[in-house]
Each structure stands twice: as structure tokens, then as C-alpha cells.
Amino acid sequence: MEDIIYKRDKFYFIYRVSAVIFNKDKTKILLFYGNDSDYYMLPGGKVHELENSQKAIKREILEELGFKNLKFDFIGISEEIVKDKDFYVHQLTLTYKCIYEGEIIEQSFKSLESDWINFKWIDLDKIKNYNIHPRNIIQIIRNNDSINRIVEVNI
């Protein structure tokens, strides 16, 4: 199956899923960043054709982290419209939450899937100190007990 990405001229549409992954006492969340990135994002990835979003987030978390048997609950949707170099990107992301019950052995580690993806557990009360993309996703992280919708336009 192919990722749901639509490209035309200088326009991209991307359909993603992401997860707010808490540690068992909900004091930390897991974020990722690329080797050359100056910002963090929630773990996740692109949805495949004919794949529902809940299956997609389970697949992405298993591929990237090896975490199995997590229970994901929907908590929000974010929509971004941004200009990236010479392209316009319209991204729709469905966000889920879950609790990782395992022990945190390393605060930072590499993805199972790719060497350029790095993961880091951060203290939830220090989240404002991190450059998180999209910035408004912090609303979903903080209000994880209700359904959220955010829109971020930077064009």
C-alpha cells in the first residue's frame, strides 16, 4: 500500500497520524526529531491507502519503536497549511494518546526503522522549553482528556 500523499506542481497534501505517548505516571511524553532538525514532533507517520487511522498509528509505533499492545484513544485533529521552501504543504493529522507501561531504560534513543529518527522522553512540565512542530499541538497534549481541533496556517 502507498502512503496517502497527493502532489501537484508546488502543492503537497499529506495524511498523517501521531501519538501522545505518556509514561505510566503521565509525567513524561515521547517526542522525536531528525538528525538535522531544530524541532520536535509527536511520533507517528503517514496513513496508507485503505488503512484506517487507528491501524496506521499502531503500525507506525510498532515499526518505529517496537511498542506492542498499546491502547490508543483518539484525542484530536490538527491541520497545517505551511510554505516549505518553494512548496505549499497541507497536512491533516489525526492524533491519538496512549500510556507506555514499560520501564524507561534510555531517555534518548534511535528509531528501529531509521538512523535519522531520534526519540526523547521529556518532562511534561518542561514542554514549553521545546520547539515542537506544529506549535499548537501543545494544546492537544495538555488537553488530552477532551477532543481537540487545531489549525495552524503559516503561509
Query: In the chain, what is the greatest distance between 2 CA atoms, to the nearest angstrom?
Result: 47
- For the stretch 4-58, pLDDT in tens is 999 999 999 999 999 999 999 999 999 999 998 899 999 999 999 999 999 999 9
Q: Taking residues 86-93, what's their average pLDDT?
A: 94
| CATH code: domain of residue 102 | 3.90.79.10
Cβ atoms of 18 and 93 closer than 8 Å = yes
Q: How far is the CA of 137 from the CAs of 50, 112, 152, in angstroms?
A: 26, 25, 9
Tell me what pLDDT residue 40 has.
95
Type of residue at 120: K
Helix (H) or strand (E) run with residue 145 in it: none
Tell me what pLDDT residue 147 has.
75
Give the three cell numbers for residue 23.
Answer: 509514561
Helix (H) or strand (E) run with residue 4 in it: none
- For the stretch 90-147, pLDDT in tens is 999 999 999 999 999 999 999 999 889 999 999 999 999 999 988 888 888 887 777 7
Structural domain including 115 reads: 5-154
For the chain, what is the domain count?
1
Task: Give residue 1's pLDDT band: very low, low, confident or very high (50, 70, 90).
Answer: confident
pTM, to two decimals:
0.91
